[in-house]
Amino acid sequence: MIKKIKLLNKDEIYAVLGIQDRNLRALEKEFKITITVTQDEENGGAQLSLNGIHSRVDKVYSKINKTLELLRSEPQINTCAQDKIPFADGIVFRPAQSPPVKPRTQNQNEYIKLIWESDLVICTGPAGTGKTFLACACALRALQMGMIGKIVVTRPIVEAGEKLGFLPGDINEKVDPYLRPVYDAFQNMLGAEKFNSLRAANIIEIVPLAYMRGRTLENAFIILDEAQNTQPEQMKMFLTRMGLNSKIIVTGDITQIDLPAAKQSGLISIKKILGKVPQIGFFEFENADIVRHPLVKEIIHAYDKWEKKCK
């Protein structure tokens, strides 16, 4: 028996096929049927042909149509918003078991648009504005769309009050707490099982900044988080890892520098050094863009006032 399903656009194709067609391959394996995809280049859609035993084809047909019904039932954003975000449904990434990731402020809209338009983006701003989370969501979307082959996220390991040598475990266990916020972002969007699977396949790589030296990363979406804790020479080393068909996003908060007082932050110096390079996008979030608990905004505002008085 053969049944056919029409996919109207790229968003439906990505939602049904999954990363590197993994959703389709999983359905084929589970239900023991064959699924072929015919691209409609003219209209940007595709057609699926489900071939196999009647009852099994019916189950897969129903499963895929439920996904499409959910996708098509979501309200479309207005024309103005469509100009600001490069996705037809206004959604950056659609997790399997949590709400869709989408911009919650106008500045977040502009940030996502800049990420999509630029190969190198430097983003600064206070905690809770979505700098890293949205960059990770864009990376997953680019992976889903087949634009890149892997995601690399890195952080400088800077001790803030505790010495690594006194922490238990080997080097990986010592640096794991520093990388935990990035794990949390991906697990939130992918679920622990899928995240661990992509890490095991080296499709998502999360490493300390020191491990980046000597590498050239091609066909990759690369994120440097907590960049305020890099020194200028480390920033230069990181930026020069960029290979063909790669995108780099640098995020940080210049009010939370943990470097020794005598050390200059590479995130502060980068605009002076690269500010006139036209292909590089610079973006700054404001306190108004904080999307964590409402108290976070009040805490940051209070600390800003206190720090100004102390100067």
| Residue 17 confidence (pLDDT) | 82
Instruction: List C-alpha distances in Å: 147 to 19, 220, 221, 236, 245.
Output: 11, 9, 9, 25, 8
- pLDDT tens, position by position, 51-85: 999 999 999 999 898 878 866 765 443 333 333 44
What are 207-231's pLDDT values in tens digits?
Answer: 888 889 899 999 999 999 999 999 9
Phi then psi dihedrals of residue 126, to 5 deg: -70, 165
How is the chain split into domains, by residue range? 2-73, 79-310
97 with 226: CB under 8 angstroms?
A: no
Mean pLDDT of 174-189: 80
Identity at 284, one-letter amino acid code:
E
121 has pLDDT over 90: yes
Q: Write down the pLDDT at residue 15.
A: 75
Alpha-helical regions (H) of 32-86: 54-73, 79-84
Condensed to tens digits (0 to 9), the pLDDT of residues 28-49 reads 998 999 999 998 877 788 999 9
Confidence of residue 24 (pLDDT cuts 50, 70, 90): confident
Query: Which CATH topology does 79-310 take?
Result: Rossmann fold (3.40.50)
Which CATH number applies to 2-73?
Answer: 3.30.1370.10
Write down the pLDDT at residue 81: 35
Q: In this model, does residue 96 exceed pLDDT 90? A: no
Number of other CB atoms surrounding residue 198 within 10 Å: 20
Nearest to 209 by CA among 186, 230, 188: 230
CA distances from 82 to 11, 91, 242 (A): 14, 11, 30
DSSP 148-175: -SEEEEEE----SSS-GGGSSSSHHHHH
Residue 88 has pLDDT above 80, yes or no: no
